[in-house]
A = this chain, B = another copy of it.
Amino acid sequence: MEKNRALESLSALAHEIRLDVFRLLIQAGLQGMTAGQIAAALGIRANTLSNNLNILAGAGLVRSTREGRSIRYFPEMEAMRGLLAFLMQDCCGGRAELCQPVLDQIACNC
């Protein structure tokens, strides 16, 4: 991932509503959620959500498909993968003792 893309992703996530939306979609997983479901779950207005979904989509963190009258949103795990890899890519400068504990902590409760 290039730096500008990483900055765009970080900016997208550095916002309470968008972080909530993204994590909600992460939890929803492969089935995704419609914009209306997201708005209801978080208690926010439709247009506010739409603006924020658009910013997340612009950063490549979510994708969407129309489904009848609704639009269904999904998390884009590729983007998340790229962002984390970017943040860690020069993480130790040859000194594994600095970096390895960080990687050890990252785990998935699957």
The chain A residues found within 8 Å of chain B, CB to CB, are 3, 6-7, 10-11, 13-16, 19, 23, 26-30, 75, 77, 80-82, 84-85, 87-96, 98-103, 105-110
Contact = CB atoms under 8 A, between A and B. Distances in A.
Given A10-B10, A14-B10, A29-B98, A88 B103 contact: no
A80 to B, nearest CB: 6
A98 B30 contact: yes
11 contacts: A7-B15, A10-B10, A13-B14, A77-B101, A80-B87, A84-B87, A84-B105, A84-B106, A91-B108, A99-B108, A100-B108
A82 to B, nearest CB: 8
Chain B CB within 10 A, most for which of A10, A75, A82, A107: A10
Contacts of A75: 98
A26 B92 CA distance: 6
A60 B110 CA distance: 29
B81 A84 contact: no
